[in-house]
Amino acid sequence: QLVESGGGLVQPGGSLRLSCAASGFPFSTYTMNWVRQAPGKGLEWVSYISSSGSTIYYADSVKGRFTISRDNAKNSLYLQMHSLRAEDTAVYYCASSAPYIAFEYWGQGTLVTVSS
Amino acid sequence: QSVLTQPPSASGTPGQRVTISCSGSSSNVGSYYVYWYQQLPGTAPKLLIYRNNQRPSGVPDRISGSKSGTSASLAISGLRSEDEADYYCAAWDDSLSGPYVFGTGTKVTVL
């Protein structure tokens, strides 16, 4: 099970930290991702972190503004978001990936709204 | 940005077969596994197909996936009202800054 939290309303230029609590599977052996979905739009992959945290990727749209991290001791995934823009408004999902099984499990999502 | 192209919509009557295409390139679909996800209204996506044609436990065998070259397809046979949802393909991509790319999505309507 994956449960996101931390979403909310933030002003343009502001910051927010999302969390994803994992349970029921060996979190430390899974790669993790953040995927977002703007209102009425499709899915957009945002960020990836390997099981150990040693390999990280970002979509160009968030590179330099977002930071993904994980705490395997706490079975938790994070997304620190800075310099937020209106176009970052979306439901943010965390999703786990096993070897050659991308986005196997998804959380319920947390809504981030960037507006003044 | 999506580099996997899907038709925006597809439809069928109950019992019919519906097929959704996913068109990519040699840097994604042509070289890597394709995945399919179903998103029911107001819910999170759910994995339907992995490694081109494998079904997770619980996904009925009337759902199938295939791949040929730089295109992939999802087929839903014996269409049911509960199949009305958005469907997305995804694949690893080695030409972008990040590993994954999603398709543009297809809305399936059961008439």
pLDDT in tens, A35-72: 999 999 999 999 999 999 999 999 999 999 999 999 99
The predicted pLDDT at position B99 comes to 85
Is residue A38 within 8 Å of A89, Cβ to Cβ? yes
- At B53, which amino acid appears? N
Instruction: Quote the tokens at residue A51.
Output: 């099981």
- At A52, which amino acid appears? S
The predicted pLDDT at position A61 comes to 94
Q: CB contact, 8 Å: B69 with chain A?
A: no
The predicted pLDDT at position A112 comes to 98
The predicted pLDDT at position B43 comes to 96
Is residue B89 within 8 Å of B71, Cβ to Cβ? no
- Find the CB nearest B98 among A45, A95, A103: A45
Query: What span, in angstroms and rounded, lies between the C-alpha atoms of B88 and A18?
Result: 24
The predicted pLDDT at position B100 comes to 92
| Cα-Cα-Cα-Cα dihedral sign, residues B53, B59, B64, B70 | negative
Mean pLDDT value of segment A92-110: 94
* Mean per-residue pLDDT of chain A: 96
Residues of A in contact with B50 (CB under 8 A): 100-102, 104
- Find the CB nearest B105 among A42, A45, A102: A42
DSSP label of A25: S
Which residue of chain A has the CA closest to B5? A42
Instruction: Quote the tokens at residue B61.
Output: 């065998």
- Find the CB nearest B99 among A44, A48, A63: A48
- Tens digit of pLDDT for each residue in A7-20? 999 999 999 999 99
For B75, the 3-state DSSP assignment is strand
For A26, the 3-state DSSP assignment is coil
The predicted pLDDT at position B95 comes to 81
The predicted pLDDT at position A94 comes to 98
How long, in residues, is chain B? 111
List per-residue pLDDT tens for chain B, 111 residues long. Answer: 568 999 999 999 999 999 999 999 999 999 999 999 999 999 999 999 999 999 999 999 999 999 999 999 999 999 999 999 999 999 999 887 778 999 999 999 999
Q: Do B56 and A104 touch (CB under 8 A)?
A: yes
The predicted pLDDT at position B1 comes to 57
How many A/B residue pairs have CB atoms within 8 Å? 73
Mean pLDDT value of segment A60-89: 97
Residues of B in contact with A107 (CB under 8 A): 44
